[in-house]
Amino acid sequence: MRTLGLTSKRVMNLTGISRLFLLPLLAFCVVCTAWSNSAHAKSPSYSGKQLADGFMRTVFGLEYNSWGSNAHQVKKYNGPVRIFIHNLARKNRLPVAKRAVRQINRQIRGLSISSVKSAKSANFHLYIVDRRDYAKTVRKHIFRNQAAHVPGRCLVHVETSRNGISRSSAVIVSDEGEFLFKRCLIEETLQGLGPMNDDKRLVHSVFNDRSRHARFTKFDRYILNMLYDRRVKPGMSRAQANVVLPAVIRDCRKRLH
């Protein structure tokens, strides 16, 4: 946050200050008010159809179809998410990653997610690495196969069943620019919670490799809050999810308007 301060080399009385600064100050306030109103007016809103479509495109399907992790079922944690951050990069990314976890925890109702100090107690492992160690880390900790093909610029793998997600593991690259790091951090962490598919038609979402979002967008907050609504159960089919989505969307609107 930037702070504005006024300094002066001479002591001036109140009348002098008023004369010099009153009109510029009023103009500044008018501009700020107009900017605030404009920003509020441009806050995105989405139809029920858009939200239901976004849910179906992200929750059902897989970015890497060959992984076969219950693509046609709802995937979500059925209890607390305990995330351990392995900072293996030269730059210390722990503060940023922990802030992201706290943000996600605050903004998704029905989900309890926190960073933990012990890897043994974690059910979500986040590996932050430099590019040179990316493939090696994926092969060792994700595939457990030294000959495996390693796709993508960053990735997440989820182990799940009809009872919910049991473990997620994500690998994020630290040293190829701030945009890629922040983009991968939020996208892979969110995908590790269940919405594992990408779709180029989701222009307001990080679940779209063609978008330029590097933050937890309002659209994605809707998707995750819908997913972690208690009426959406692990293992649900598309047809089963469709039955409860109208009520889920209606209640999410009340909280996220």
pLDDT tens for each residue of 108-158: 999 999 999 999 999 999 999 999 999 999 999 999 999 899 988 899 999
Strand ranges across the sheet with 164-173: 113-115, 81-87, 124-129, 164-173, 155-161
* Sign of torsion over alpha carbons 185, 186, 191, 192: positive
What is the rounded average pLDDT of the residues 216-238? 95
Is residue 162 within 8 A of residue 119, CB to CB? The reply is no
Give the CA count within 13 Å in the CB-facing half-sphere of 182: 12
pLDDT recorded at residue 31: 38
Collapse the DSSP code of 29 into the 3-class scheme (helix H, G, I; strand E, B; otherwise coil) and give the result. Answer: helix
Q: Is the pLDDT of residue 7 over 60?
A: no
Task: Kindly state the tokens that stand for 245.
Answer: 């989505």
Nearest to 220 by CA among 180, 243, 193, 182: 193
DSSP assignment of 48-88 equals: HHHHHHHHHHHHSS-SSGGG-S-TTS----SS-EEEEEEE-
Q: Name residue 65's amino acid.
A: N
Spell out the CATH class of 48-256: alpha beta
Tell me the C-alpha distance between 150 and 44, whole Å: 36
What is the per-residue pLDDT for 200?
Answer: 84
Give the whole-angstrom CA distance, residue 10 versus residue 75.
66
Pairwise CA distance, residues 76 & 181, whole Å: 24
- Note the residue count of the chain: 257
pLDDT of residue 206: 84
28 pLDDT band, cuts 50/70/90, is very low
Per-residue pLDDT, 63: 64
Is residue 33 very low, low, confident or very high in pLDDT (cuts 50, 70, 90)?
A: very low
Q: What integer pLDDT is reported at residue 70 of this predicted model?
A: 74
pLDDT at 222: 96
Mean pLDDT of the residues in the chain: 82
Burial zone of 88 (CB within 10 Å; 0-12 exposed, 13-18 middle, 19+ buried): middle
When pLDDT is averaged across residues 83-94 and rounded to a whole number, the result is 97
| pLDDT tops 70 at residue 255 | yes
Can you give the pLDDT at residue 44?
A: 62
pLDDT of 15 strictly over 50: no
Structure tokens at 178: 């701030």
The least confident of 34-48, 134-148, 240-254 is 34-48
With a cut of 70, say whether residue 234 has pLDDT above it: yes
Burial of 257 (0-12, 13-18, 19+ CB in 10 A): exposed
pLDDT in tens, 187-213: 999 999 999 988 888 878 888 767 677
